[in-house]
């Protein structure tokens, strides 16, 4: 099969290769998916750049979508021909979705509603699932105000939609006028350009000095200092799924304690079964009702995987980066 891989860490153009690898066969309880698309996420870029390899080579990317073309023992033959999207394709395993085929446990290949395209399917495993879990951790947000850090990002775009669907008013931080328009189109009521104005005073101005009820955060290293500035009102909740710094990050303990602030952290790759099933069911329902918008920022052929990684690294694109593996 045609595939991309790397055998050492480094810059995209220096380590990513494209060529032929053996086509996998599904084992017991597994399905094989003929992939049409592969999603490129920031975590894929970070892994290629610096995460130690666990084998001879890594076929990157955890997200993708395609059609089941073979099943292993114990899997219903009726699943052959099913359009599916993939989650955790390359999590703790060397063979991801940057290839024509992937074999993996059948639960990790989820039926895709007929009205949802396979490009959109490659956006669900990390961006949409992360957004769903983050909003879930906030609890009942109907009638409340939610601050979304990075509202125009791949995850943030889904968070804005999901929070709005849950009845919340959304304020989003963005880095440009174009990104502000993207967040507003997704349902945000207001945006703050963090490059042009300090976030905390802007939030306080937009909330009449009260702060927001909840936050969804993509970079705890830069957001933590906001907690001492009253951005999150007493008894508020912050749900966080990432940080640009993974070392020790100071937090204003006294402010958190005396305001009864809740901090909720999670890793989308490591959701418990109940949370995973809740997210899958919720996203499926939203797609079946055509209530979820997917933003594709750029498409690249598999042969241009290095350029796709560079596009993600640049941070300039609005929307998800997709590899088109083969025709639907």
Task: Express each pLDDT in 149-160 by its tens digit.
Answer: 999 999 999 999
Residues 103 and 139 in one domain: no
For residue 74, the model assigns a pLDDT of 98
What pLDDT is stored for residue 255 in this prediction? 94
Could you list the residue range(s) of the whole structural domain that residue 148 is in? 127-265
Domain at 88, CATH number: 3.90.180.10
The two three-digit tokens of residue 324, written as one number: 């088109």
- Enter the pTM of the model: 0.96
Separation of alpha carbons 280 and 193, rounded Å = 32
CATH of the domain at 142: 3.40.50.720
Looking at the fold, whether 199 and 303 belong to one and the same domain comes out as: no
Instruction: Give the residues of the chain that fall short of pLDDT 50.
Output: none
* Same-domain pairing of 12 and 83: yes
Would residue 44 count as lying in a domain? yes
Tell me if 64 is assigned to some domain: yes
3-state SS class at 25: coil
pLDDT for the residue numbered 258: 96
If asked whether residues 140 and 232 sit together in one domain, one would say yes
Classify residue 143 by burial, with Cβ atoms within 10 Å: 0-12, 13-18, 19+. Answer: exposed
pLDDT of residue 245: 85
For 234, left (φ over 0), alpha (ψ -120 to 50), or beta? beta
- Per the structure, the count of domains in the chain is 2
| pLDDT score recorded for residue 328 | 63
Residue 315 belongs to some domain of the structure = yes
pLDDT for 55: 84
């Amino acid at each position: 099969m045609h595939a991309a891989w790397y055998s050492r860490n480094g810059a995209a153009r220096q380590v990513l290769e494209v060529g032929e690898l053996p086509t996998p066969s599904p084992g017991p309880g597994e399905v094989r998916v003929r992939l049409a698309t592969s999603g490129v996420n920031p975590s894929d870029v970070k892994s290629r750049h610096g995460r130690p390899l666990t084998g001879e080579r890594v076929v990157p990317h955890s997200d993708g979508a395609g059609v089941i073309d073979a099943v292993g023992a114990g899997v219903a033959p009726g699943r052959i021909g099913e359009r599916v999207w993939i989650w955790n394709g390359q999590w703790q395993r060397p063979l991801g979705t940057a290839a024509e085929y992937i074999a993996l446990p059948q639960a990790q290949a989820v039926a895709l509603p007929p009205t949802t395209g396979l490009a959109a399917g490659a956006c669900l495993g990390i961006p949409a699932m992360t957004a769903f879990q983050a909003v879930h951790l906030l609890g009942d947000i109907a009638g409340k105000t939610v601050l979304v850090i990075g509202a125009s990002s791949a995850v943030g775009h889904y968070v804005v939609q999901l929070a709005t669907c849950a009845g919340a008013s959304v304020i989003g931080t963005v880095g440009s006028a174009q990104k502000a328009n993207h967040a507003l189109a997704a349902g945000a009521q207001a945006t703050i350009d963090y490059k042009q104005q300090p976030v905390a005073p802007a939030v306080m101005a937009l909330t009449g000095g009260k702060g927001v009820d909840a936050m969804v955060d993509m970079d705890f290293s830069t957001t933590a200092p906001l907690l001492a500035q009253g951005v999150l009102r007493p008894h508020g909740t912050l749900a966080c799924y990432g940080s640009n710094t993974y070392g020790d990050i100071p937090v204003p303990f006294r402010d958190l304690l005396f305001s009864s602030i809740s901090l909720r952290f999670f890793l989308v790759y490591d959701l418990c079964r109940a949370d995973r099933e809740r997210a899958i069911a919720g996203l499926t329902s939203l797609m079946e009702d055509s209530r979820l918008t997917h933003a594709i920022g750029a498409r690249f052929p598999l042969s241009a995987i290095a350029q796709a990684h560079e596009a993600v690294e640049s941070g300039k694109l609005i929307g998800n980066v997709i590899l088109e593996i083969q025709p639907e």
